[in-house]
Amino acid sequence: MNPALKKEIDRLLALFESHGRPLTPKPMESDEPFHLMEKTTNIVLEPDVKDFYRFFGGRDAAEILTVEIAGPTLLMFRDLLGATNDEWDGTGPRRPATTYDVPPRDPRIQPDVSSHPGWFPLGRVQLGATSVMYDDAPTPLGRKGQIISFEHDPDEVFFVADSFVDYLRVSNDLLESEWQELFPDD
């Protein structure tokens, strides 16, 4: 495992432990979910994303990451086995972006579309209004594996981080600074 990823996973575990909410990693039993997802989507996730899934067991990593769009929001981490549902349609056409009055798109992200077969949703905010996606199809100014976010109504796509480790680092920063907002019952 990449030492930077291990550092952020350890930080995440320590943060939840310090608030009396210990996370119990449940390693994946096999890499079969990756093989199925790659066969279905033609997207090969980078090692850091795979190692995160392996460590937390994929579906058991729910609600541990956060995203800052309209304020800190908990993210439901996706089950790789759900990659073929209607949230990801790598076989269909790209959906054109809406014509709402939205800010210009970051030049690292494909322009003029609100869905793309090269975007794989890693997680979503409950009710699905915001999805955090692995970008396998950046523009020449972007980086394969960058993390982007899709916000619905109006449809906008935002740049989040250069890599999954950077995303996890920012998420941990938000968890540290905004814990009470995210977990008001603590």
Q: What is the pLDDT at residue 167?
A: 87
Pick 7 or 101 by higher pLDDT. Answer: 7
Token reading at 58: 């994929």
Range 113-126 average pLDDT: 75
Confidence of residue 48 (pLDDT cuts 50, 70, 90): very high
- pTM of the predicted structure, to 2 decimals: 0.78
Pick 31 or 69 by higher pLDDT. Answer: 31
CATH dotted code for 3-85+107-182: 3.40.1580.10
Indicate whether 90 pLDDT > 90. no
Cis peptide before 154 (omega within 30 of 0): yes
Map out the domains of the chain as residue ranges: 3-85+107-182
Indicate whether 164 pLDDT > 50. yes
Give which of 162, 165, 128 is closest to 148, Cα–Cα: 162
Indicate whether 7 pLDDT > 50. yes
Tally DSSP H helices, then E strands, for the chain. 4, 6
Give which of 163, 155, 167 is closest to 108, Cα–Cα: 163
Q: Any idea which residue has 């990756």 for tokens?
A: 34
What is d(CA 59, CA 80) in angstroms, rounded to the nearest whole number? 7
Q: What is the pLDDT at residue 125?
A: 66
CB contact at 8 A, 133 and 120: yes
Confidence of residue 184 (pLDDT cuts 50, 70, 90): confident
CA neighbours closer than 13 Å in the CB half-sphere of residue 30? 5
DSSP code, position 54? H
